[in-house]
Amino acid sequence: MKPSYQVSERCVTKPPAAGDGFNPRTFWRIARIEGLIPFTGCAILIGFVVTLWEVGRWGADWRLCVMAVVATLLVHFDAHIWNDIMDLEIDRHEKSRETKRDRPLVYGWATVGDYRKLSAIITVLAVVLAAYLTIQRPLMPILFIIGFSFDYGYNHPRIALGHQPYAEWYIFPWLVVAVTVTVVYAATGILSLLALILSLLHGLTVTCFAVSMMRRDVNSDRRGGKNTSAVLHPEIPHSTIYGIITLLVSVLMLYPLAFILGSMDLAYLLILTTAVIAGINTVFGARIDQLCTRALYSIFPEFELKANKFMVQQVGASMVHVVAMTITVLAFGKVA
């Protein structure tokens, strides 16, 4: 008999009606701190450290840096807006209590029309900031085009790469890279290779949790017709594999990083930090894969709740990673 997942119960909340009003709680859900900080927030922190490494405290244009930070945050907010719109029908099947996530569109806190208006305002603000930054940094439009490509490519209903297999594997790490490189370029005018490597290391590390999130959401995604890698190949241990890939890539980055830093010892500390965190995330990912397999072959109503706990631990480990890298560079990198 062909195995199948136990699907989540259908959400009984009625869709929002026009005129229900915009609930202020929607803004907190759009911000989605649990996703914002590990990705864009940590990418900004890496950008700050690389800026200090490249030009020192007094050589950076911090005004442009702050503008770039605000602009990248706006693009991330816009990505959340379109993700909620794209996944509306799928979210009706998602176990929000188990995954600790509120759904404004499902709960009736806002309408799709409200979301579209808010997206338009955010996009205009981001474009205005990018236009001003372009006056000082001529390559800035390219970086923002890349950022919006990730935003709309993954989240917009007309493209919906987020509904396709393995999209999270190759998009999320480069999202971190794009933010870090943008922040460093705005502050220094340099397209920094150090920013690229450090942000890629963190991008891979934090994407371990994004891959696990897809495993956790496999029930609602499957029922909603979302053809993610976890839905298409539920028998593959995606979280475990991605953790191992992160571990291998971090080892391969040792010599390029040592060449850029001019210090094998510093490069070794940074790579060792990444390898340790990648190992921890791989262990947590393996536990999530085991839970996913159990849900595949048996009735397992607590699947989402238990998987979510391990996924949150992956988020915590990823944040420890970027803090540890920051302290290492500041302490041993002779930053002026």
Q: What is the pLDDT of residue 173?
A: 94
- AA letter at 97: R
Answer whether 0.75 is exceeded by the pTM.
Answer: yes
- Domain membership of residue 72 (yes or no) is yes
Full residue range of the structural domain in which residue 279 is found:
25-332
Q: What is the CATH number of the domain that holds 91?
A: 1.10.600
**Regions of the chain where pLDDT drops below 70:** 1-21, 94-100, 336
- pLDDT tens by residue, 1-14: 444 444 333 333 44
Q: Is residue 32 part of a domain?
A: yes
Give residue 64's pLDDT. 97
Residue written as token pair 């590390």: 205
In angstroms, rounded to a whole number, what is the distance separating the alpha carbons of residues 331 and 333?
Answer: 6
Q: Does residue 9 belong to any structural domain of this protein?
A: no
For residue 12, being part of any structural domain is answered with: no
Look at residue 6 in the predicted model and tell me its pLDDT: 41
Q: Looking at the domain assignment, is residue 3 inside a domain? A: no
Number of structural domains in the chain: 1
Measure the CA–CA gap between 249 and 167, rounded to whole angstroms: 19
Distant-in-sequence, close-in-space partners of 82: CB < 8 Å, separation ≥ 6:
115, 119, 151, 152, 155, 156, 157
| pLDDT at position 108 | 86
- The CA distance from 208 to 222, in Å, is 21
The answer to whether residue 20 is domain-embedded is no
Asked if the structure places residue 18 within a domain, the reply is no
